[in-house]
Amino acid sequence: MSTLFLIGMHEIEKSETIARKEDLFDRIVELQDLDSLMINLYKDRVSPFPNAHNFETGVSLVLYDPSKLQLPVRQLDVLFKRFFPSFNISAIDPTHEENLQPLKSIGRENSICGNRITRINHWMYHHHDDTSDGFTKANFGTNNENTLPTQACQANIYTLLLHLNYSKAQHLQKASVPRLIRNIEFMSFLSEPIEKLSQDKSYYWNILSTWKFCALSLSTQELIWCGFTLIKKLSKDANVLIADNKLLLLLFTLESSYHQVNKFHNFRHAIDVMQATWQLCTYLLPDNPVHTLLLCMAAIGHDVGHPGTNNQLLCNCESEVAESFKNVSILENFHRELFQQLLSDHWPQLLAISKKQFDFISEAILATDMALHSKYEDRITREKPMKQITLISLIIKAADISNVTRPLSISARWAYLITLEFGDCALLESFHKDHRPEQDCFGDSYKNIDTAEEDLDSIQNMLTSVTNADDIIKEHPYIPNGQIFFINTFAEVFFKALSQKFPNLKFLSENVEANKEYWMKHTNKKQK
């Protein structure tokens, strides 16, 4: 869905603009000022699932006269990339005809964004080199790892490389939070959880304080509130305080840095892993509030910007993101850099503490690379006594794959989502048989691509209404095989060894075994 925002335009200006552009957009929103624009962006982003106005499935434009609103278009675009990183949105000064060039390609760009395969392909392999973004190649020095690509895609669509490079540039600028953002009361966007709290003050704390926690049943507003509730408590316990509105800005920016349209690797997964991390810390780090806070923050940021694919797909097509990390723990390094810069921008005190603790958050995020899984399995039994850094890594690793240890009704829904995401990866590989990943997305070969999107209403209904694993399997009979493979390959040995090392975690291994037994009864292929 695409939106044309018309800011502070007179009736004559509006009529002329709308007459020429209305057929290119799904909606046109007229606002008085840029403050109203910011409020609309945040409100739209936390709309109920499935959220049509997430600013990822279409390209949105903001038209305004910068001379009247006293903010250059370039500065507004920088603000978008800083606080709404995953959004396909940019600003245009309509007072000069040549500035309206982006409108000519809006239809093709919307087609690319509206199709999940071309959208993911663009995220992973393309780059939009636009000097109006407020940074240039000069910002990155002469090191090849820090330079923009020589050939860039001209579509105004999010890419991993642009996200990464802008994060590096932002690190050099050390800019303060602009007034447009600083003056917002972020609590005003959380009416849904506030309403529930008015009826039961302990509602969210109760659902956070159990291994039966189900992030899939929560809205975006509720996910943000859960993050706020837990981090606020942990920061108080660790005496690393942050003002409520600053913490909420951090969480809103973090949510906007994840891809809401991903099936599995999105902000829901981040909150789920943070909650699991906290629960494990109550068993394994009961007297270390600083480490608990750092580890939970690493958990909520451990997949920021995730494209919903994997390291192998980035390597196979020689993406520039893969090359920038020398094909080693590509996505984990990508997440680490983005999240640490985000913390530097929003909570520098916490990042400073992290770097004093053997670069705590960085090490924790890198430990989530599944290519290192067997290495950590060995450490559980061989390290005596266990090093602190190993314990930290094991906690976040366990939390990252904790879906298979949740009660079956919850675990089955996560299994459904990861299966859908794996399906997208397979479709992306098939797409590459006919298209070079980095080729011109405005070329003729892209014109006839099927733009049909999956039924998001059906997916959301499965998450919120279907709690019986049998019903999920009826719709998707291939799920059991995938779960058996994952449990046999990664989870069973890992959680059994962890439970033997720490007997108070025995429930994790027991849940894995119970879930495996269920999947075995429903698999259509014998498993050893």
Q: Tell me how far apart the terminal alpha carbons of the chain are, to the nearest angstrom.
A: 47
d(CA 378, CA 117): 38
pLDDT at 133 over 50: no
Q: Would you place residue 149 in the very low, low, confident or very high pLDDT band (cuts 50, 70, 90)? A: very low
d(CA 400, CA 265): 11
Alpha-carbon distance values, 84 to 163, 211, 287, 391, 437 (Å) = 10, 32, 37, 34, 25
269 labeled binding residue: yes
The three state secondary structure string of 358-377 is CCHHHHHHHCCCHHHHHHHH
Mean pLDDT of the chain: 90
- Mapped onto helix, strand or coil, the DSSP state of residue 346 is helix
Spell out the domain ranges in the chain: 3-173, 184-403, 405-433+453-522
303 labeled binding residue: yes
400 labeled binding residue: yes
The three state secondary structure string of 136-169 is CHHHHCCCHHHCCCCCCECCCCCCHHHHHHHHHH
Reported as a single tens digit per residue, the pLDDT across 237-283 is 999 999 999 999 999 999 999 999 999 999 999 999 999 999 999 99
> What string of DSSP letters covers 82-131?
HH-TT--EEEE-TTSGGGGGGGGGHHHHHHHHHSHHHHHHHHHH--B--G
- How many other CB atoms sit within 10 Å of the CB of residue 492? 17
163 labeled binding residue: no
Contact 234, 293 (CB under 8 A): yes
Contact 23, 168 (CB under 8 A): no
Reported as a single tens digit per residue, the pLDDT across 457-496 is 899 999 998 889 999 999 899 999 999 999 999 999 999 9
**Which residues are designated catalytic?**
265
pLDDT at 75 over 80: yes
**What percentage of the chain exceeds 90 in pLDDT?**
78
Of 318 and 276, more confident:
276
d(CA 127, CA 144): 16
- Token output for 11: 């009736």
Given this structure, which CATH class describes domain 184-403? mainly alpha
- How many other CB atoms sit within 10 Å of the CB of residue 412? 27
Alpha-carbon distance values, 169 to 147, 350, 399 (Å) = 11, 21, 32
Q: Would you place residue 131 in the very low, low, confident or very high pLDDT band (cuts 50, 70, 90)? A: very low
Q: Would you place residue 154 in the very low, low, confident or very high pLDDT band (cuts 50, 70, 90)? A: confident
Question: Span 87-110, mean pLDDT?
Answer: 88
pLDDT at 153: 75
Contact 81, 166 (CB under 8 A): yes
Which bin fits 93, alpha (ψ -120 to 50), beta or left (φ > 0)? beta
Contact 118, 441 (CB under 8 A): yes
Q: Which of 283, 310, 298 is nearest to 336 (CA)?
A: 298
Reported as a single tens digit per residue, the pLDDT across 359-417 is 999 999 999 999 999 999 999 999 999 999 999 999 999 999 999 999 999 999 999 99
Question: In the sheet that 3-7 helps form, which strands lie side by side, from edge to edge?
Answer: 27-31, 3-7, 60-63, 89-92
pLDDT at 182: 95
d(CA 323, CA 316): 11
CA triple 265-268-271, angle to 5 deg: 110
pLDDT at 488: 98
